[in-house]
């Protein structure tokens, strides 16, 4: 157990729908990062939050949004889903970033 909790583990939904992925960071970590990994692809950085505020943005589509709440958990919202959004979505957390990120086990999203 890495200490980073992601729910749900699996999600199957239809095109056009909206889903919310949840992440609880490791205790004490203020930063949360979201990554997308499509089949046989690398990790695509989506967005970072630090202590409730957006810190950095990567290749995140306008249909996607995220937020970090006062208790530091984060949610990634994916709307108007398309088949191409099917992927593994990882959340990672860190303290000051010196020691890298700790990843959760991911949410596998399948859009049918």
Partner 1 sequence: GQQLNQSPQSMFIQEGEDVSMNCTSSSIFNTWLWYKQDPGEGPVLLIALYKAGELTSNGRLTAQFGITRKDSFLNISASIPSDVGIYFCAGTTNTGNQFYFGTGTSLTVIP
1 binds partner 1 (CB under 8 A): no
Structure tokens at 26: 């490791």
> Which residues on neighbouring strands pair with residue 90, listed in sequence order?
35
d(CA 70, CA 45): 23
d(CA 74, CA 30): 11
12 binds partner 1 (CB under 8 A): no
Q: Binding residues for partner 1, how many (CB under 8 A)?
A: 27
28 binds partner 1 (CB under 8 A): no
What character string, x for contact with partner 1 (CB under 8 A) and - otherwise, covers 39-78? -x-xx-x--x------xx-x--------------------
Q: Write out the DSSP string of 52-84.
A: TEEEEE-S--TTEEEEE-TTS-EEEEE-S--GG
34 binds partner 1 (CB under 8 A): no
Of 7, 48, 3, residue with least CA distance to 28: 3
25 binds partner 1 (CB under 8 A): no
Q: Which residues make up the interface to partner 1 (CB under 8 A)?
A: 2, 4, 33, 35, 40, 42-43, 45, 48, 55-56, 58, 88, 90, 92, 96-106, 108
């Amino acid at each position: 157990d890495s200490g980073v909790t992601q729910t749900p583990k699996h999600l199957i939904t239809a095109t056009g729908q909206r889903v919310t992925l949840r992440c609880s960071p490791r205790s004490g970590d203020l930063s949360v990062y979201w990554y997308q990994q499509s089949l046989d692809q690398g990790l695509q950085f989506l967005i970072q939050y630090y202590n409730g505020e957006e810190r950095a943005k990567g290749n995140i589509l306008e249909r996607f949004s995220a937020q970090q709440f006062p208790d530091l958990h984060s949610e990634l919202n994916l709307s108007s889903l398309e088949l191409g959004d099917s992927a593994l979505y990882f959340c990672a957390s860190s303290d000051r970033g010196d020691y890298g990120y700790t990843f959760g086990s991911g949410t596998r999203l399948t859009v049918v």
